[in-house]
Amino acid sequence: MMRKLGIVLAALVAVWLVLVAVVYIEMCRPPEKIAAFMAKVPVPVFLVLPFETLWSRARGGTLHNGDIAPDFDLQTVAKTGSVRLSSLRGVRPVVLIFGSYT
């Protein structure tokens, strides 16, 4: 009886690890692909897998405190031109705000 219970437990752990790996791989893909995948995930799976930890690992990036931000171009608010982040380096402080500020 204990041997069968051990086999069942090992199988459940193996299935859980495979599910964690699949979700992690999907979370490393572009946002549109993640959304399409997550829309298909049944609700009980959210109770079993560590989604927050997987998300933090998959989407955390490689920047650390003190690193120089990657260079990028943004369109001005008036849409009359664009600004490159590197053109502001050493000229004035730059604050980057991601997400909603309301």
Give me the tens of pLDDT residue by residue for the chain, a chain 102 residues long. Answer: 899 999 999 999 999 999 999 999 999 998 889 999 999 999 998 899 998 899 888 888 888 888 888 899 989 888 899 989 989 888 888 887 777 666
> 0.75 exceeded by the pTM?
no
pLDDT at 9: 96
**Nearest alpha-carbon partner for 49 in 15, 5, 83:** 15
Q: Indicate the angle between helix axes 2-27 and 31-40, nearest 10 degrees.
A: 140
What pLDDT score does 10 carry?
A: 97
